[in-house]
Each structure stands twice: as structure tokens, then as C-alpha cells.
A and B are shown apart, each in its own frame.
Chain A
């Protein structure tokens, strides 16, 4: 709640609107206590007194009634009618929307078609028809305005409810024995309320305006009772001769509606979860670099070499050290596996290479990334852009999310080619079909003209790979490319990647959490934990004799097919949060071999031959192994 007000007040316009509307509402509330003249007492001798006339601060109207008094009483009435109409509309609209969205099927169909029919009428015509049927009067105008706005709420709320009704917690509630009514009241409603509030805050102003409109036409409040609309209506005939009689209520309507709309927009922005997460601040084209200290010399050769890479997320006062001095390198034709659990920093490492970590909040604070002889950290955006997809390409986990749903896959490949190479469309299309053949998509000519949703998951990931290959890159960074796929499809994709790297001398950085995949595909493997590399070496050696206790226990807790029923070795506890890292080994808290020395100082990554480990008490003596 406190956060909500902070967000709301940060929006200057919303705050101004809030102040204006609060002032008006307070004025309306204390109107009966103010020493005003009676609003309905006529005095024709005193008619059309100008503003600031003696005894009449805002003058008098055509019957000599005090404008100030009528304005305040009228505002009071207009606000009351507007708010009540909004509450009625929200209540009935939300009820209809929730019932339609929750029950779905035919109920939904019938209700929503009815709502559609209501919406098909112009609102003012509908309101006029309702008032004509019920007869003029303020209460009937209120009913009309509420009824006209019910469809808006019903449609909004129904959409949200459909999404919530299919969530698993609703199923869980049903299994806990809750009836439909209870599920609606305790599970659905609390999740819908913010949407109702947002819809109300943006429509109250509109409803006040509509009520004023009906009163203006003489269908709302009846003389002598004043509301803002009827004041305007009565002043219409004197618009030219005595403009103040229409300007005064007009300005009040303007203040109220503007105030409410500004405040409503602010409320919506503060409540809407999509806007709150910071999505409004669009990420920059490349990750921000704030490098302190010198550029380290590359620690090894290779087509892609990262040295002491440090990428952090700066969220408010917190600093998440997602990647903490990571050094990796990959040679042409080599496959490097990067393995780790969620939050270990493996994906952020991969995204840092081409400056794809979202900024804000991502910041690269140190290290060096070299593609051949070119330094990529701090490189100009045009340089990065030239390399992206051309020399270094990515394959992501979910091809459905990375392919554009509205373009044919062939067109997306053509675009990827033509960004980097000035070739004709026809030529690029030919190349696209060729690429689809290379990733073994059957019937490639026809498949190029299909949309992503028409393909299976395995076929889509092949398109993802084809796109990565489009410009014949030197390095492919594959971030869990098979995690979302079935095992039989995974086997197909892995063997495809393996063939490609052998045929083309591609360097592959393969990010995964699966030791089985690493064991089959990768030449070398690096194990990450809490943003650091804890072990590195040739895959066979690491899997056969892991040196870091974390690697050993991580391998042990993954069941392997063919070992039958058994109890698994679990690692108790959780990985540490990377914004509160203690000195020393991050795994110490979960390690059975922990000693005092483990948590007193930083532990270096000790290299011995091709292997390296960040542990004081490794499981395997690497220096002896290297000597043998």
C-alpha cells in the first residue's frame, strides 16, 4: 500500500489531479456547513449579477439565484451521482464479467453476446432510451448512466477472469472442496479487484460527464434542483449576453473531469503489474558498461575469450553480482558446456557477450570479452550490432517466444540475412530455404511459408537454429536450447548441432542444467555456482572425477536412466542470494567438507593442466592428476 502511494505521487500529473479532486470533494462534503445563501431562492430583480457582485461572489443566474451556492450544491449532487453510477456499473459489470468468465462455454457465449448488443448502441442514444422509458429524473439518469457503462466493465472483467479461472490455484481450491460461489468470492475476486479499481478510476470522470449531459438535456435533475449539467442547460440561452452563468459550471466540470482522469491514469499506472515491473522503462540497445579499472589481458586464446567478466544488476540500493569474475574461452570447432542451476549466472554470462543483458538494471562493471582480436565490452553500438547474429549468434530456450508470431518463418530468415548482407529478396529467400534444408526440416520449400504456430516445438527450434546459422557465424551461444523439448526431439536437435559444428568448425557455447547433455555434446565443461565458475575441465575428466564438492554432489543428485529405483542424494539448503554474498566459498553453507578457512577469504580458481577448481579441499587432487 505504501509502495502504491509512492508510485502514485512520483507521477506529478496524477498528484496534481489528486490534489484538485480532493479539494473539490472536500468542498462538496462541507457545503451544508458553509454560510451559503439558499440555492433555490429566486430573486428576479437581482438577475444576471456579474461575478464579484456584492453579496454574490460568482454572481447570480437568470432567476437571480446565487451562483456560488448553486455551484457547490450542484457539484455535490453531480459528484454523488457520478460516483454512485460508477459503483453500480462496476458492481453489476464485474458480477456479469466474473460469472461469464468463470463458467465459460455457453453461459459465457450468451451473456457476452447480450453485452455486445448493448455496446452496439451509441451510448447517448441508449441512455436517452432508458430515461425515456423510465421518465426524467436524477435517479433515472443515474440508472441510465450506470446501465450504459455496465458492458465496459463486463468485458474488461470477463477477460481478466478467463485468465484467472484457468490458473492452477483455482483447480487446487476446487480439490480442497470449495464450491463455485466460494471460489469466485475467495479465489477469483481478490485477483480481479485491482482491475475493477483501475477500470473505475478511468471511467468515473466519463460518467460524471454523461450525467451532466443528460441533465443538460433536461432529463436529469429537475428544476429547481441544481446540478452541473442542468446549470449549464439553463445558462445556454444567456451564453452570449451573460457568459459567466455557463463558464462557472463549465470550469467546475473541467476541473473535476481533468482531476479524476489524471488521478485515474496515475492509479492505473501504479496498480497495473505490467507497468510496475519497470516495463515502462524500455531497455537500452546494449548493456550499460561502467568499467572500473583496466581492461584485463585475455587469459587464453580462442575465437571467443571472456576474462574476469563481471555483470551486475543494480536494483535500488541492492547490487546483485550475477556474474562474478568469470573467465571462459572457446576455440573453433569446440563445444564448451556451461552448467549450473537457476540463478547461477550462466545465462547472464552468455547475454553479456553481445551486450544483450537488459539495462536497466544490468551493468557490466569489469572484465574483457574478445571476439578474435576485437574487444566487445565498451565497443560502439554499431560494432556490436554488426557482430550480433553475424559473427556471434544465439539460440534461445523457447523458440515460440523468439520467433515473431505474425511473420512467416522464411521472411524472418530473409530479414536476418538481409540485415547483414546486401542481397536481393529472392536470393535471400533461396538461402532461407537452403538453411531450412540444412537443419533437416522436411519439405523446406513449403515450410518456409508457414507461421511459427503451425510448427511443432522441435521444428520451431530447428528454425531457431537455422536463423542462428543464417550468416555463417563463428560462434553460437545456445542457452538451454533443448530444455523445452521432448527427449526424442532433444536427441535430434543435439545430433544436428553436433554435426553442424564438425562440418563448419563452429564454436558452440552450450548452456544447460543437464549433465547427460553436456556429457554427450561438450568437449569441455565449466560449472557455475552463485555467479562464479567453481570447476572447469575436459568433460570426461570432470564427470568421471569431479573435483569440486558441488560438482560431485550435483552429479549425484541427478538420476540416471538404467539404475533402477533408488534414493537420490539431495543437497540440502538453497543457493545463496547473489546480493548478499559472504566472503569465501559460496557453497560452504551446504558443503559437508566445510572448514573455517573456507569462509575467511576469497578462494582462487586453481589451475592444474587442463582442469581448474575453486576449492581448498577438492575431491580429486588435480595437480597429481595433471602430473600423471
Chain B
């Protein structure tokens, strides 16, 4: 097993209330400094609720937004996001909304040709051959090639999105909520396709979703994000069955499961902390039934360094 993706001390802060001159009025720490690594051929699931920073993290990884601190290493080499033509070949992204990620005024062939031309400098004959290869592998018919995006259903459009990411021949794919815009019957088709492609092409996935059951079904390991920080990382089969962080347990108990009686697992009026005015210490403290005095002192570190890691002073057993 080799480490293909390594994040060290990676964080992102957005200035709020920008002015033409002078300092902004405040900053929102969308992603707190975090360390994560992904092994070759692994699927790392990232779950969290809206506003937890999972999309910001994903967009940093593909260079769409520059990180505030920290570094991203791919295959041991730092990711340089100065030249899109270089990092596009190393890491690619599949978007959440399949239709809006395709330019409405370009045919599917034009969409597919862009990465082949710009990233790999292929000539026309090579491109045509490669496109039919890729289309074949994502079960799309070649007659789709001359059509425009609005003519496709969500599932087909998402397969085109995956095909475009594959065209770059990157070994790492960031999948940002790739199935949440799809119907359940189509969702399963796309998830299975992703699993097949991974096995066939030896890909590594970072699978981001708010749907715990989907993440559990496709991932080897899962990282749980809360308020911009990783609060727990562990094997997919363990993390929701035997959560160690109180927040992970809350998530697992909130997910609707057939046969489990309905009960709100926590007080009914809790809300996320204010990002402009973050709480001291552990961000989950206010919602946590196990919070004690020491939780307010400093944010708990993610420990131990290997295996099932949890950022909590009083983890569950």
C-alpha cells in the first residue's frame, strides 16, 4: 500500500465583508487545519452536514481554490496548482449536479475533447479512439456524442461527467456528492459503475456525501467532518456501527432506518455554531451530552496517529 494523496495542515479561511481597501471585516474558517492520507486503490468517504466544509476541501484538492495553509501531496510530489494542465492529469473531480457541470452550448463530443486536447495533446484520430473507449467503459452509446446536455437524464449526464473525469487519466478522482441529485434507482447504477471503474483502472476515490448509508456502502475508510474539522476517521464497517465520537453517533442515530422507531436523538432546537463567532474548544461541545469542563479549553486533537482516530477528550466505547 502506498500513500497517493497526503494532506498536511490543510486549511481554508474565507474573508467575509470584503472592502476595496483595508482588511475584511471577519474570516470564516471553512476548513480547520487537517491531516489526512489516502492509500493507493482506496475509497475514502467523507461525510458531514451542510456547512461542514466538505465541498471546500474537495475544491482545494483539485486546485479550484487555493488553500490558506498547508500542503497537498500526490504520489509524494507537492500539488502545484499554478498550471491547470499539469494537475488536471493527476487529480480529477466529478461534480454534484451533472447537468450544470456541462456547458449547455457544447456538444458532448466537444466536452469530451477538451481534456484530451489540452491535457494530453492528442490529435483528432487519437481523440476519437479514446472517446469511444471511455464511452464504452461507462456504458454510454456513441450516438450521444453529437447531442447537447439538456437532452440527457440525470443519470446519463452524470455518466458523461464521469467519462470526462476519466478522459484526463488521473488516478485520483474526487467525487463530490456524485449521486445526490439522482433518483435512487439510478443512484445504484452510478455507484456500481464507479465501483467497476475503480477495479478496472486502479483508481483511488475520495467520496464526499451527506448520505451515510451511501458512504458506508462504497468506502473503505470514512472521515467524519464537523464544523471544518475531522472529528473521526475509521473503517467504514466500524465507524457507524461503533462510533467513538458523540457527533458520529448522533449522525448514525439520526439516519432514518426502516424498523427503528422514530425519535429525535437530541434536543430539538440545536443549531450549528456561528461560523463568524466560533466557540472555544470543541465545536460540538454545545450539542454534546458528554461535554465536560476540559472540552472548552482547546479543540481536541485527532488521536491516535494511526487506525481508528477520534478528536474527543471523552470518546465513547
Do B268 and A559 touch across chains, with their CB atoms under 8 A apart? no
A29 interfacial by beta-carbon distance below 8 Å: no
Is A557 in contact with B185, judged by CB distance below 8 angstroms?
Answer: yes
A-facing mask of B201-232, CB < 8 A → 1, else 0? 00000000010111011111000000000000
Are B217 and A562 closer than 8 Å at their CB atoms? no
Cross-chain contact B188 with A569 (CB below 8 angstroms): yes
B115 at the interface (CB under 8 A from A): yes
Q: Are A516 and B257 in contact (CB under 8 A)?
A: yes
Cβ contact of B219, chosen from A173, A182, A519, A565, cutoff 8 A: A565
The answer to whether residues A173 and B103 also contact, given A570-B188, A574-B153 and a CB cut-off of 8 A, is: yes
Q: Which residues of A lie under 8 Å from residue B97 when comparing CB positions?
A: 168
Q: Is the CB of B258 within 8 A of A543?
A: yes
* Chain B residues closer than 8 Å to A562, beta-carbon distance: 216, 240-241, 257
B289 at the interface (CB under 8 A from A): no
- The 8 Å CB contact of A442, one of B184, B236, B263, B269, is B269
The interface-forming segment of A238-246, A321-329, A425-433, A489-497 is A489-497
- Once the chains are docked, how many angstroms separate the CA of A483 from the CA of B226? 20
Taken together as a complex, chains A and B put the C-alpha atoms of A495 and B155 apart, in Å, by 33
Give the residues in chain B near A490, CB-CB below 8 Å. 254, 256
Cβ A459 vs Cβ B184 within 8 A: no
Q: Complex formed: what's the CA distance from A218 to B196 in Å?
A: 76
Binds A, one of B69-77, B88-96, B129-137, B291-299: B88-96
A520 touches B217 (CB 8 A): no
Quick one: given A486-B49, A491-B254, A495-B268, are A566 and B240 in contact (CB under 8 Å)? no
The answer, yes or no, to whether A521 is at the interface (CB within 8 Å) is: yes
Bound CA–CA A376/B211 (angstroms): 39
A570 touches B189 (CB 8 A): yes
| Contact of A571 with B264 in the complex, beta carbons under 8 Å | no
Any B CB within 8 A of the CB of A558: yes
- A178-195 contacts to B, CB under 8 A, are 178-179, 182, 186-187, 190-191
> Is A251 engaged at the interface, CB distance under 8 Å to the other chain?
no
B124 at the interface (CB under 8 A from A): no
Q: How far is the CA of A515 from the CA of B185 in the complex (A)?
A: 12
Residue numbers in A under 8 Å from B89 (CB-CB): 177
Complex-state Cα separation, A182 to B236, whole angstroms: 42
A594: chain B residues within 8 A (beta carbon): none
Instruction: Specify which chain A residues have a CB less than 8 angstroms from the CB of B216 in the assembled complex.
Output: 559, 561-565
Q: Is A421 an interface residue (CB 8 A)?
A: no
Considering only CB atoms, which chain A residue lies closest to B251 in the complex?
Answer: A487
Cβ of B272 under 8 Å from chain A? yes
Secondary structure at chain B's binding surface: helix, strand, loop or mixed? loop
Residue of B nearest to A553 (CB): B185
Chain B residues lying within 8 Å of A560, measured Cβ to Cβ, are 213, 257-258
Interchain CB contact under 8 A, B103 and A519: no
Q: Is B17 an interface residue (CB 8 A)?
A: no
A560 to B255 alpha-carbon distance, docked (Å): 9
Partner of B64, one of A171, A186, A494: A171
Interface residues on A, range: 35 or more
Q: By the criterion CB–CB under 8 Å, are A440 and B257 in contact?
A: no
Cβ distance B255 to chain A, nearest Cβ, rounded Å: 5
Residues of chain B lying within 8 A (CB to CB) of residue A564: 216-217, 236-237
Which residue of A is nearest B114, CB measured?
A176
Judge whether B255 and A567 touch: CB under 8 Å. Answer: no
Quick one: CB contact mask for B149-187 with A, threshold 8 Å, 1 for yes? 000010100000100100110000000000000011111
The interface residues of chain B lying within 8 Å CB-to-CB of A174 are 64, 84
CB-CB under 8 A for A171 and B103, given A176-B168, A519-B258: no
- Asked if B269 and A440 sit within 8 Å, CB to CB, the answer is yes
Q: Tell which of A168, A486, A496 touches B95, judged by Cβ atoms closer than 8 Å.
A: A168
Q: Is the CB of B262 within 8 A of A520?
A: yes
Contact check, B212 vs A487: say whether CB atoms are below 8 A apart.
yes
Known: A488-B266, A564-B236. A167 touches B217 (CB 8 A): no
* Minimum CB–CB distance for A468 against chain B, Å: 17
Taking the complex as formed, is A538 at the interface, i.e. its CB lies under 8 A from any CB of chain B?
A: no
Contact A177 B85 (CB under 8 A): yes
Given known pairs A175-B93, A520-B261, the reply for A571 and B251 (CB within 8 Å) is no
Q: Which residue of B lies closest to A170 (CB)?
A: B103
Given contacts A175-B88, A177-B118, A565-B236, contact A488 B251 (CB under 8 A): yes
Q: Are A571 and B84 in contact (CB under 8 A)?
A: no
CB of B111, distance to nearest CB on chain A (Å): 8
Among A524-554, those with CB < 8 Å from B are 543, 553-554
Which B residues fall within an 8 A CB radius of A?
Answer: 20, 49-50, 59, 62-64, 84-85, 88-89, 92-93, 95-97, 100-106, 114-115, 118-119, 153, 155, 161, 164, 167-168, 183-189, 191-192, 195, 210, 212-214, 216-220, 236-237, 240-241, 250-266, 268-272
Could you name 20 residue pairs across A and B whose Cβ atoms are closer than 8 Å? A168-B96, A172-B95, A187-B106, A190-B106, A341-B185, A488-B270, A491-B263, A492-B268, A494-B264, A495-B263, A513-B183, A513-B184, A516-B257, A516-B258, A520-B260, A521-B262, A557-B185, A562-B240, A564-B217, A565-B219
Top 5 nearest A-B pairs (CB, nearest first) are: A516-B256, A177-B118, A519-B258, A570-B188, A486-B49
